[in-house]
Structure 1
Amino acid sequence: MKQAGKRSRSRKNCKNNTIYFIALFTIIATLPVISLKSHNVTRSDIQSELQSSYIVHGKITLNGDAELGSFENITDGDGSEGHPYIIEGLSIDSGESGSAIDIQGTTKHLVIRDCLFTNSGSNWKDSGIYLYNTKNITIERCISHGNINGMFFEQTNNCTLKDCDLYSNERGFQLYQADRNIIKNNTIWQNTQYGIDFSGASDDWNIFEWNNISFNEGVGISYYGTNLPNWVRYNHIANNSDYGIEMADSDQNIYLNNITGNQNGGIRIHSGTNNTFSFNNITDNDVGDYEAGIEISSFGTSYNKIYNNTISGHHHDFDNPSGIRITSNAYSNMIYNNTILDNDVGIYDYLANNTIIESNDISANGVGVSICKSENITIDDNYMFKNTGNAVYLKGLLTDATIVKNISIINNRIHNTT
């Protein structure tokens, strides 16, 4: 099986790929990066400067457009798209009860900006700002810390969260059964669970872009049961205590992200189909046993495409973590046009069928490609250079007369491999 429109590649293809990765690194160099020297940095200096400009205010609860329009602290606007209501400059301490701002059932256009939210209640929905069944709300330049959720959008659409600082919450940002929302240019860090937690079926897309999601004590971004494509792009996802991105039963387009230094691996997907991972820089994640820069696992995890990524620097003292790992009855996944360098194993395919490994540069790894107890694997037109072990290693049960079945290894260029 060949990728549609495939050119004759091999060494020529690898040179052509260089153009992609020069562009990739140019873009990644502009991604937001936290200038934190340790995990325990605080923002007290920033808050001290801002505190004098805030107006201390009690909690705000608004239900419907009528209550929103009559709210006394709206500073401007009429609720139209061109002239939205404005709420700004407030400092709200929730007093360990509920959310600082709770807005439900509104459709008018509203901007909430330059506010500080702290000290929510302990219910799983309590937040700096909680939105339910709302439309057309923009939250910008706000700080939220010491809450269960920094922000929570539930069944919202056409809402935007941008330029906010969400830290020292349980979850930085939570999105549930929401669509057509934009999450942009936020710093989401040092939260005790997820950076971003998105779950529940939605009717349309959401966009997550230019965010810095770092030093959280769980997964950087978690997706569960999000059935329609979302766009995850231009994010810096680093130094989280679990995976950079973890997905289940989801359909995502993940591209042009910088994913580095996460403790359990870069990206993990289980029970998902038709996901696309492209043009990402996935490096130096502190993977443990049997983990990887990108891991695709579980029965039914199929028809995913991994292409034009740079995946490097995944090592461990035991059990040979991989640049890419396909396992546990995953099937019909495609890996092509990637640069896979300096990993214990470049690509590891274990109990996974119908995988296509095509036109990759797989070099300077311990083992280039390892296939174990898998069937119908195609390894075609790859460039393998200076892998210190085998370029391609096939293995299975010693008692099995057929170690692997229907493995096609064709048109590859293999050099200086010991």
Structure 2
Amino acid sequence: MYEKIKINKNKIKFLFALILLIGFNFISYPSFQVSKSSFDQDSNEIKSSGTCSPISIDDLPSSLNNWSWAETQTWFGGGSGTPSDPYILEDLIIDGGGTSNCILIQNSFKHFIIRNCTVFNSGTVLFASGILLFNVTNSQIIGNNASNNQFMGISVLASNYNVISGNIANNNTNYGITLGDSHNNSVSENIANENLDHGIYVGGSQDNTIFDNYAIKNGGYGIRLEQATFNFVSGNTASNNTNSGFYLLDSSNNNTLFENYAYYNGNNGIYCVDSVNNVIENTVAHYNKHNGIYLQNSNDTIIIDNELSDSIENGIKMEGSYENWIEGTTALDNGFNGIYSGWGNFNTFRDTIALRNGHNGIYLQYNDECSILENHLSNSTENGLKMDYCTDNWIEGTIANDNIYNGIYGFVIINTLIEDTSASNNGHNGIFLQWSEDNTIINNILYDNIENGLKFELLCPNNLVYGNILRINGFNGLLIEVDCDYNLIYDNLLDSNTDKGISIGSGCDDNLIYSNFFLENGIHALDHGSNNAWVGNYWDNWTTPDSDHNGIVDIPYSFIVGSAGSIDYVPIAEDGEPWILINYPNNHDVYGINPPYYSVTIIDDYLSEMWYTLDDGLNNFTFTEFSGNIDKSTWDLLPDGTYTLIFYASDKAGNVAFKEINIKKDTVAPTINIISPVSTDIFISVPSFIVKILDANLDAMWYSLDGGLTNYTFNSNGTINQAVWGALPEGQVTITFYAKDLVGHLSYANVSFSKTSGVDPIIMIIIIGSTIGGVVVIIGLLMYLRKRRKPGKE
């Protein structure tokens, strides 16, 4: 069969070199034909030594060495070229003699298998290989050894729907296995080690599956994809390669790399250049010389659930890369950073664990509009998160503890939101910003840091600091120094800081500090600036008197130390503990398997926190809304019984209040035992009933004589309704007793007995028995009297 092959000029660089390929004769470009002599070898006869000469099969109709010819050769292994009976070449040993391909098959669409062959010493011309397929479909290359060739081990060019599996392609001068301009092929369970260049090369090819291969100790890359798209690369091991384990370049787009392993490579575990829309998932990349994963000018990449540790530089490095999504990745013990991103915007870093890295957990340079969400960035030698020259970023839910320098450090960051972050036990500061402006820092917990909870230094104007908890820090809760002006600081809690709650240095002017709570600090506040306004703060050493009950202490607070001579003229007065009302549940309410719904009213001008417990504080559950449901997982674990539900509330002054109620859990339905009537009973008159119903939370009992259509409630044992009984026909009667508890659990039990008219059978038996007995007595008496009237004998 004859077929023209169209070559896309931009698809792959190596196809240009095909023009120079010895043995290929191009008739036209971009389409070409392969002539009869395209890859002819000198001889196909088996040598007397048992080593076969190189084999060339060209299945063009005009070719003399097509499959029909092959069937006549002594090395032919049988078959008819069909799916059920493929041609076979097997158990051959072929020496290419350093000049040609060992096995060449081209222009073939029949089914064939090459297996268990040993091919070596192919030639040095471009693409000369131990096994070379050109314009081939429906082949299986299985279990061969294509090592020690002077160019390629196995090459598949312009060929589709082939299987290359279980082969060894080691110590080849160029690549172990090559796919070029080939699609929908499967390359699996091969070993491509110690090749002078790459282990496996995929160029200009798409929709191939590359899985469970080994590419180890190659001189170039383990597995390289160039202008390759929509390929699935999974379960491969690429280690100890001179360059990177996996390399995607030159518009290798829309590929998926899943569950691969990249160890001890001389450059990177995975390296992507100028490629987009790829997925890197569940990869393990350890001990690589530069980076675990490196993206360069590569966008829209999803990097998810990878393990990246012990690289000399970074777990992940990105440069000039945009709109990438990094989630669920673990980056541990890397020499530089867990993740580094430079000159890239719109990236998302989520649920990353970056611990014990040599510099920073995450380091962003010149990154704008990125999201850093719910990451754990601790125990690094410098900072948990470092940002330089970054604008419009969003940082939320980060944990940054136990870093040698700072939890978060920012240099020239602008218009960034930092919220709901926890930073503790860092060697310097929880958060430290320099030359940064227009940032919002809200609802963070910054505690137990060696120096400061939050620090602004050097030209940090117009920042908003709101709703933060800054407590137990070694120096200050908040330190502002050197030309930091026009900052708004309000509604923060500054508690138990060793030196000062807030310290403002000289040259820091026009800051507004209001509605903050200062508790048990060494010194609550210091101000060496000018024109800073301290308005309406709570000072735990100045809470009374408030004679007019307006919430303001009558006398201004004048104990703000420093050269500014600042005074808070309207200090907040003590207003007592929060007021709590439990709207729902009610005391002694009973619940089943579904957790109780609650509704509370809590009033305090400076409410700080709310929580509840069901075990007297062993487990506490915070809440922010005044209504909701009790935690289901906790409720599920509780056995049936009575529990005390306690609601707590604290205010920013440290006052705590609580209210409690008792609730019951009942997951068992009532039990019903019918004592009377029983199934053998027969009744003429209205029967009575005796039932024993057990349930600690019983709500209602009733019975029915018509399957529940009509019901009759009762509170104690008694007699069936007279009118209903009278209306029943004779025959079998079924009475069903029901019981429901307060949760709504329903139980029932029934019994059937008989109804009859006339004399009660028992009474009839008594009457008959009595009558017979009476007749016997009378007869006996008469016989006695007759006997007495006879004259006796003398």
| CA distances 1:200-254 after superposition (whole Å, capped 9, x unpaired) | 1x4x41011111110111111111111x310110111110000001111112100
**Does structure 1 conserve the Cα–Cα contact (< 8 Å) formed by 2:377 and 2:385?**
no
Residue aligning to 1:350: 342
Residue aligning to 1:76: 78
Residue aligning to 1:156: 159
Residue aligning to 1:184: 188
Larger deviation, residues 74-83 vs 240-249: 74-83
Residue aligning to 1:339: 330
Larger deviation, residues 384-393 vs 303-312: 384-393
**Aligned equivalents of 1:117 and 1:65: distance in 2?**
24
**Aligned equivalents of 2:105 and 2:163: distance in 1?**
14
| CA distances 1:303-345 after superposition (whole Å, capped 9, x unpaired) | 0110000000012xxxxx2100111x21111111111111120
Deviation at 1:415, TM superposition (A): 2.1
Larger deviation, residues 62-71 vs 183-192: 62-71
**Aligned equivalents of 2:68 and 2:89: distance in 1?**
11
Residue aligning to 2:54: 59
**SS at structure 2 position matched to 1:189:** coil
Residue aligning to 1:308: 305
**SS at structure 1 position matched to 2:67:** helix
Residue aligning to 1:266: 269
Residue aligning to 2:571: none
Residue aligning to 2:197: 193
**Does structure 2 conserve the Cα–Cα contact (< 8 Å) formed by 1:116 and 1:142?**
yes
**Aligned equivalents of 2:125 and 2:324: distance in 1?**
40
Residue aligning to 2:427: none
Residue aligning to 2:316: 324
**Aligned equivalents of 1:236 and 1:245: distance in 2?**
9
1:96-245 equivalences under 5 Å are: 96-147=98-149, 148-169=151-172, 170-200=174-204, 202=205, 204-226=206-228, 228-245=229-246
**Aligned equivalents of 2:288 and 2:245: distance in 1?**
9
Deviation at 1:146, TM superposition (A): 2.4
CA RMSD of aligned residues (A): 1.3
**Aligned equivalents of 1:322 and 1:59: distance in 2?**
48
**Aligned equivalents of 2:209 and 2:144: distance in 1?**
19
Query: What is the letter of the counterpart of residue 393 of structure 2?
Result: I
Deviation at 1:126, TM superposition (A): 0.2
**Aligned equivalents of 2:185 and 2:94: distance in 1?**
25
**Aligned equivalents of 2:366 and 2:259: distance in 1?**
33
**Aligned equivalents of 2:138 and 2:215: distance in 1?**
25
| CA distances 1:93-115 after superposition (whole Å, capped 9, x unpaired) | 11111201111111111011111
**Aligned equivalents of 1:55 and 1:158: distance in 2?**
32
**SS at structure 1 position matched to 2:196:** coil
1:390 aligns with 2:383: yes
Deviation at 1:385, TM superposition (A): 2.5
Query: What is the letter of the counterpart of residue 357 of structure 1?
Result: F
**Aligned equivalents of 1:180 and 1:339: distance in 2?**
33
**Aligned equivalents of 1:413 and 1:347: distance in 2?**
15
Residue aligning to 2:736: none
Percent identity over paired residues: 26
Residue aligning to 1:278: 281
**Aligned equivalents of 2:191 and 2:364: distance in 1?**
40
**Aligned equivalents of 1:84 and 1:353: distance in 2?**
54
**Does structure 2 conserve the Cα–Cα contact (< 8 Å) formed by 1:205 and 1:231?**
yes
TM-score of the superposition, structure 1-length normalised? Answer: 0.80
**Aligned equivalents of 2:186 and 2:68: distance in 1?**
24
Deviation at 1:417, TM superposition (A): 2.1
Q: Which has the larger radius of gyration?
A: 2
**Aligned equivalents of 1:360 and 1:255: distance in 2?**
18
Residue aligning to 1:407: 393
**Aligned equivalents of 1:96 and 1:365: distance in 2?**
50
Q: What is the aligned residue count?
A: 343
**SS at structure 1 position matched to 2:98:** coil
**SS at structure 2 position matched to 1:56:** coil
**Does structure 2 conserve the Cα–Cα contact (< 8 Å) formed by 1:69 and 1:79?**
no
Residue aligning to 1:92: 94
**SS at structure 2 position matched to 1:404:** strand
**Does structure 1 conserve the Cα–Cα contact (< 8 Å) formed by 2:134 and 2:158?**
yes
**Aligned equivalents of 1:124 and 1:172: distance in 2?**
14
Deviation at 1:70, TM superposition (A): 3.0
Change (3 A) 1:55 1:138: farther
**SS at structure 2 position matched to 1:414:** coil
**Aligned equivalents of 1:277 and 1:365: distance in 2?**
22
**Aligned equivalents of 1:239 and 1:378: distance in 2?**
35
**Aligned equivalents of 1:208 and 1:364: distance in 2?**
34
**Aligned equivalents of 1:257 and 1:330: distance in 2?**
22
1:376 aligns with 2:379: no
| CA distances 1:109-149 after superposition (whole Å, capped 9, x unpaired) | 10111111111111121000111110011111111122200
**Does structure 1 conserve the Cα–Cα contact (< 8 Å) formed by 2:385 and 2:400?**
no
| CA distances 1:235-287 after superposition (whole Å, capped 9, x unpaired) | 11110000001111112100101110100010111111100000011111122
**Aligned equivalents of 2:141 and 2:366: distance in 1?**
51
Query: What is the letter of the counterpart of residue 173 of structure 1?
Result: I
**SS at structure 2 position matched to 1:70:** helix
**Aligned equivalents of 1:69 and 1:115: distance in 2?**
21
**SS at structure 1 position matched to 2:131:** strand
Deviation at 1:380, TM superposition (A): 0.8
Q: Gapped runs of 5+ residues in structure 2? A: 1-48, 405-794
Larger relative contact order (Cα-Cα within 8 Å, sequence gap ≥ 6): 1
Q: Gapped runs of 5+ residues in structure 1? A: 1-53, 316-320, 396-402
Query: What is the letter of the counterpart of residue 365 of structure 1?
Result: N
Residue aligning to 1:25: none
**SS at structure 2 position matched to 1:379:** strand
TM-score of the superposition, structure 2-length normalised? Answer: 0.42
Larger deviation, residues 407-416 vs 133-142: 407-416
Query: What is the letter of the counterpart of residue 157 of structure 2?
Result: E
**Aligned equivalents of 1:302 and 1:358: distance in 2?**
17
**Does structure 1 conserve the Cα–Cα contact (< 8 Å) formed by 2:242 and 2:267?**
yes
Query: What is the letter of the counterpart of residue 322 of structure 1?
Result: N
Deviation at 1:65, TM superposition (A): 6.6
**Aligned equivalents of 1:193 and 1:140: distance in 2?**
23
| CA distances 1:59-99 after superposition (whole Å, capped 9, x unpaired) | 11111177123312222211111111111111111111120
**Does structure 2 conserve the Cα–Cα contact (< 8 Å) formed by 1:65 and 1:107?**
no
| CA distances 1:161-217 after superposition (whole Å, capped 9, x unpaired) | 1111111112101110101111111111110011111111x4x41011111110111
**SS at structure 2 position matched to 1:144:** coil
**Aligned equivalents of 1:114 and 1:65: distance in 2?**
26
**Aligned equivalents of 1:236 and 1:325: distance in 2?**
21
Residue aligning to 2:18: none
Query: What is the letter of the counterpart of residue 330 of structure 1?
Result: S
1:363 aligns with 2:355: yes
Query: What is the letter of the counterpart of residue 94 of structure 2?
Result: I
**Does structure 1 conserve the Cα–Cα contact (< 8 Å) formed by 2:362 and 2:377?**
no
